[in-house]
Structure 1
């Protein structure tokens, strides 16, 4: 499955980048395939392992912020692996055809 999520600390200074970086650090340390962009971090893996990483990322931010907002989107496809790269590669191939 793919999980795209965003963790936003609330009740801290205007700049939240340092706290968001802590969440991304947790994801990268997990060893699961992942990608971070300007809006979301996407992780690929099995349900329990991916959700455990999301919880750890939220906990890392919550340790330094009085409130945390979590946005999450999931693509649940049992038995599918490599989707994190394959979906983007498919789009790139289609764009190259034109």
Structure 2
């Protein structure tokens, strides 16, 4: 499965980059395939392992903020592997055909 999520610290001041970086650090330390962009971090893996990483990322942010907002989108496709790259490559191939 793929899970794209963002964690937003609330009530921790104007600059939340350090707390967000801690959440990304948790994701990268998980060893699961992942990608971070300006809006979301996407993780690929099995349901329980991905959700455990999301929880850890929220917990690390909650340690430094009184409130945390989480946005999450999931693509659940049993048996599919490397969707993190394959989905983008498919679109890029289509774009190259035109």
Normalised to the residue count of structure 1, the TM-score between the two structures is 0.98
Q: Counterpart in 1 of 2:28?
A: 28
CA drift of 1:51 comes to 0.1
5 Å matches for 1:1-98?
1-98=1-98
The one-character-per-residue Cα deviations of 1:40-72 (angstroms, maximum 9, x if unpaired) are: 000000000000000000000000000000000
RMSD (CA atoms): 0.5
Runs in 1 of length 4+ with deviation above 3 angstroms? none
Partner secondary structure for residue 22 of structure 2: helix
Number of paired residues? 98
39-48 or 14-23, which moves further after superposition? Answer: 14-23
The one-character-per-residue Cα deviations of 1:6-36 (angstroms, maximum 9, x if unpaired) are: 0000001111111100000000000000000
